[in-house]
Amino acid sequence: MSRTDTSTSFGFKTVEEDKRQGLVNEVFSSVAENYDLMNDLMSGGMHRVWKSAFINWLAPPKTSRDYHHLDVAGGTGDIAFRLLEASRGGTRSVICDISGEMLRVGEKRARERALRDRLTFVQGNAEALPFPDNSFDAYTIAFGIRNVTHIDQALREARRVLKRGGRFMCLEFSKVEVPMLDKVYDLFSFNVIPHLGKLTAGDRASYQYLVESIRKFPPQEEFVAMIEEAGFEQVKYRNLSGGIAAMHSGWKL
């Protein structure tokens, strides 16, 4: 879509581009307190397995050397907590999220896990990160990049803040590549998830948007091309659960 076009997608709806981020913010403000429940409904509970696989592929250092990690759109801390628990004391994580509500949930959870001293919480936009160039050894974003208005700009920002030799990793719902599984997943997504959202969280509309946003996200190979276009090298992806989700990896070399 051309940047001169002032409309963009919000799920299956078309909205003014400058209004989209506000609408996304409202969704995550609504689901912040039920974030784990949201992920369980969206993935059938599999997000926990996928996140573990994501951290395993990232392979954070087990030594005490300094390692600076940025997790974008990870306000409630799921990825950062896993990374810190899998690494040693030299690892520090910064969680950057545009949603203050999500960050407040994350800070509360970090205190409960005694991880607060290894974490920094920053409110900021993935398209204009409030960090200097060449600041981080790793950049992660999990189930967040499909909610960014300009994905290409977010990818360029990811490369900018990474050090030379730094790694970009994204975990996101993707295109199912197993015959028949795609049809079953569509039935579950459109007929079950919004209904469960209404029953358990009193919020059908947010879950309807989240389901629709998955279908608007680029499939695996197209997203690879976008990551390469942003300047990353050695870009690869791995499917999870037949492509219901996928991990993408790239390096700033």
219-239 pLDDT per residue, tens:
999 999 999 999 999 999 999
pLDDT of 241 above 80: yes
**17-55 exposure pattern, b = at least 16 Cβ within 10 A, e = fewer:** beebbeebbebbebbbebbeebbbbbbeeebeebbeebb
Q: What pLDDT score was predicted for residue 3?
A: 47
Mean pLDDT of 112-140: 95
pLDDT of 39 above 80: no
The type of residue at 106 is G
Q: Are strands 162-173 and 119-123 parallel, antiparallel or unpaired?
A: unpaired
Three-state SS at 228:
helix
Average pLDDT of the chain?
Answer: 88
Q: What pLDDT score was predicted for residue 5?
A: 59
Mean pLDDT of 119-141: 97
Q: What pLDDT score was predicted for residue 82?
A: 94
Residue 10's pLDDT band (cuts 50, 70, 90): low
Share of the chain above pLDDT 90, in %: 58
Q: What pLDDT score was predicted for residue 206?
A: 78
pLDDT of 37 above 80: no
pLDDT single digits (tens) 142-187: 999 999 999 999 999 999 999 999 999 999 999 999 989 988 988 8
List, in sequence order, the alpha helices (H) in 192-247: 193-201, 204-216, 220-229
Q: What pLDDT score was predicted for residue 171?
A: 97
Residue 2's pLDDT band (cuts 50, 70, 90): very low
Residue 58's pLDDT band (cuts 50, 70, 90): very high
Q: Which of 29-38, 142-151, 235-244 has the lowest mean pLDDT?
A: 29-38
Q: Does domain 7-251 have CATH number 3.40.50.150?
A: yes
